[in-house]
Amino acid sequence: MIFDEPFSAMQAAVDIVGTSPHPANKVAATVFGLGYGLSHTNYWPIPIFEKFGMNTDIGNSSGTVHAETACILKAAHATEGGSLCVTDPFCPNCAKNIAEAGIKKIYIDHKGFDKDFFKRRSGHFETMSMQICEKAGIAVYELWRKDERLVPIFEPPANYFVSEDSPVYREPIEDASEGVFNDVIAQGFKIHNKRKFSVVFAKDGKGKCIALTARGHAVTGFTTEDPDDIKALEQHEHKYNLFQEPVNRMLMYLARHGMKPMEGYFFSSAVPTSREQVNLAGAGIKRITVGDLTKARDADSLTAMKQLSEAGIISYT
């Protein structure tokens, strides 16, 4: 579908939210821009649902892909400069993905603020989610469909400059091969030393092969050169933080530029986090090469890898 304003885009999300398979927290979103639009609910990727059902965590992550992230992963067009409507206020992890995907405006249905689900997690939205949007220069609005009214929650200043810590490196290649892939990975280890990073071969809009290298970094808008940002980045929580892991970052970058990864050419220097692995399944990635199969952020990441590998959902090589 094509939307040129947020009210119909939000209605499209509202129309499908009841189809969400989640028994308690049904959420839907619509991503849209010039000439495109796509709506999706939160959901379990089919392979995860078939093998594990709804009640088994993947590592320390639920098996669901959030509605906002699902829209980004499944968008058929580049999400750079796009907008997103969502039926409920978004979590910090989705805020990070939205920022990395280049979304510039977010609209939240006003009814979402009255739900018990939001009231239980409003602290995360009001602090971390909004902090991410403000630093990334993303406008956020409360949307009233019946009145076709928008209430600004945050609007960035005109000509706001967005900091980006360690941009994704793009390099054209003549053709994809294991040899070239290994050369790019080896170069990544030299450049990024002890930092986690990801490498993907993809094709741009003209069909040319591109090697992409992304390392884990402060989420868009934050920089390790600013003392205030450093202080914020150090305030880790058990569930949320202000760093973007390299595989999630790569998935969002691909969507941002309308690229699709070439099969068999997806690399991570360490085992991805549980949430990254669920998102990989949601993106349809069936194979990932891992630099060190014993290196991970936490034990839960290794558990998730074991689960998805033994279930035949993702092959780790």
User: What average pLDDT is seen over the chain?
Assistant: 93
The answer to whether 129 and 89 have CB atoms below 8 angstroms apart is: yes
* The predicted structure's pLDDT at residue 236: 55
Residue 238, pLDDT > 70, answer: no
The predicted model scores a pTM of 0.94
| Cα distances (angstroms) measured from residue 119 to each of 88, 123, 124, 154 | 11, 8, 10, 20
270 strand-pairing partners: 292
User: What is the rounded distance in angstroms from the CA atom of residue 274 to the CA atom of residue 129?
Assistant: 20
- Per residue in 39-55, pLDDT tens? 999 999 999 999 999 99
Q: Which residue has the tokens 């002890």?
A: 194
pLDDT digit string (tens) for 207-219?
899 999 999 988 8
Q: What one-character-per-residue DSSP string does the chain give? A: ---SSHHHHHHHHHHHHTT---SS---EEEEEETTEEEEEE-B--HHHHHHH-SS--BTTB-SPBPHHHHHHHH-SS--TT-EEEESSPPPHHHHHHHHHTT--EEEEEGGGGGSHHHHHHHHHIIIIIHHHHHHHT-EEEEEETTTTEEEEEE-PPTTPPPP-SSPPEEEE-SS--HHHHHHHHHHHHHHHTTS-EEEEEEE-TTS-EEEEEEE-EE-TT--TTSHHHHHHHT---SS--SEE-HHHHHHHHHHHTT-EEEEEEEEEEEEPPHHHHHHHHHTT--EEEEEEEEEESSHHHHHHHHHHHHTTSSEE-
CA atoms within a 13 Å half-sphere pointing along the CA-CB vector of 138: 32
In the chain the domains, ranked by start, together with CATH numbers, are: 6-154 (3.40.140.10), 169-316 (3.40.140.10)
Residue pLDDT, tens place only, 62-73:
999 999 999 999
Q: For the residues 267-287, what does the mean pLDDT come to? A: 97
What whole-number distance in Å separates Cα of residue 67 and Cα of residue 47? 17
pLDDT per residue over 183-203, tens digit each? 999 999 999 988 999 999 999
pLDDT for 230 equals 66
